[in-house]
Amino acid sequence: MANTTYIPVIGTILNINRGNTCCSQMMSVRTENGIINFTVNAETLVIDSRQLRPGMQIAAFYDSSLPVPMIFPPQYQAKIVTAIGRNENVMLNYFDGNLVASDGSLQLNLARNTIVKTVNGQSVTCHLGNRFLLVYYTVVTASIPPQTTPRKIILFC
């Protein structure tokens, strides 16, 4: 999964309307920087198959290497959408063998209660290093790199 161009947008869903086809929707998200619209379709991966609804806090990832229309508010094709908890952060990145993000911005310390699953909800028994991971976390240390014990990790196989 070469998704190094995936950019997260964190916000609250304002509304969801029918899209151009029966299998697509247009989702408006309020962020710190204003409203951003996302197309959600059959190609969009919605983590845990959650029903998206207004008021839900989410992280939507789009591929910054794809062309986008020059309109306001911005409109992107959502590649991944996931619900996040209050004060929760989410990161999609490649983590090396020491579980350090490729950009050095985060190191993972796994705990017994860390939930680790594949995208389709299966248990994971292998080492998580040298893989793309979607990491849910709250608190980080002030060390370099910052460290966290994630609440949940989704492994992209």
**Per-residue pLDDT tens digits for 104-143:** 999 999 999 999 999 999 999 899 999 999 999 999 999 9
Residue 2 pLDDT = 55
Residue 26 pLDDT class (50, 70, 90 cuts): very high
Closest listed residue to residue 89, CA positions, set 140, 157, 123, 146: 140
3 — pLDDT class (breaks 50, 70, 90): low
Vertex 103: Cα angle to 115 and 80 (nearest 5): 50
Q: How far apart are CA 8 and CA 108, in angstroms?
A: 19
Q: Does the pLDDT value for residue 1 go beyond 80?
A: no
Helix (H) or strand (E) holding 61: strand 57-63
Query: Looking at residue 38, what is its pLDDT?
Result: 96
